[in-house]
Amino acid sequence: MMNLQWPHIAGIHALCTTRAGGHSVAPYDSLNLGDHVGDDPALVAHNRSALAQALDGAHPVFLKQVHGVEVVPIDAKTPDGLACDAAFTRAANVACTIMVADCLPVLLVDAQGSAVAAAHAGWRGLAAGVLEQTVQALCRAAQCQASDIRVWLGPCIGPAAFEVGDEVRRAFVAQHPQLEIFFTPKADAMGKWLADLSGLARWRLQHVGVQDVAGNDGSAAWCTVQQRSRFFSFRRDGVTGRFAACIWRSV
């Protein structure tokens, strides 16, 4: 697991798991946190217990991610399995948790550390506005402006691996023509493009006023497909596990 050196705010903690250090066997080896991918439920439970121990007493709340834009408040009594793609909290020791295996996990906090949030940004949710909705929800919870929000972009499928069709490009460029720079035509495939998912997310966050965006810069080190030993990738393997990104307040 990677304890992030971010966001440098007292009482705020963030963590991103890798595929190493768990109990699951191939093709879910080894720290699979997804209970919906065909893995042995007992092994997933062991893996989730290991994650909880790494959170220093915080309780992770797992969502049923549906590639939408709904953002929900969570607390210590929130059950796992809410059908949504982003969550926020002001409660202490409650970890907003996002599971991925190519989509982009996004962690957010206000500059005062009064609230935290996490969002799941696949291309559908990203195009539909999940990050904008999450920023708005966090701003309301923390009573702050978008310029006060700090964001970390986690590992995701990188721009050298994310092949998409015309419909994906249109979904973004129809809203903001400037986003065409994040799509590179594939020379060997008519109507296919290589998309920069983290670049799209960074642009859309900055477009709504978020100025402090750290993490994934689109390089190979952040690519779930290319980093086979570190990250699960659905695009690469088909049947695979899920890793997670978490953020929580300790005070």
**Which DSSP helix (H) or strand (E) runs through 136?**
helix 130-142
- Residue in the block written with tokens 């904008």: 132
Residue 155: cis peptide before it, omega within 30 degrees of 0: no
Model confidence pLDDT, tens digit, residues 115-153: 999 999 999 999 999 999 999 999 999 999 999 999 999
Average pLDDT over residues 149-162: 98
| Helix residue spans in the chain (DSSP H) | 41-54, 123-128, 130-142, 166-173, 197-207, 234-237
CA 172 from chain centre, in angstroms, equals: 19
d(CA 84, CA 66): 6
**Both structure tokens of 20:** 């190493």
Q: What phi, psi does 76 have (nearest 5°)?
A: -65, -20
Average pLDDT over residues 146-165: 98
Average pLDDT over residues 10-38: 97
Model confidence pLDDT, tens digit, residues 35-65: 999 999 999 999 999 999 999 999 999 999 9
Q: Which domains does the chain have, with CATH numbers?
A: 2-158+209-249 (3.60.140.10)
Tell me the residue length of the chain: 251
Handedness of CA 80, 70, 2, 222 (dihedral sign): positive
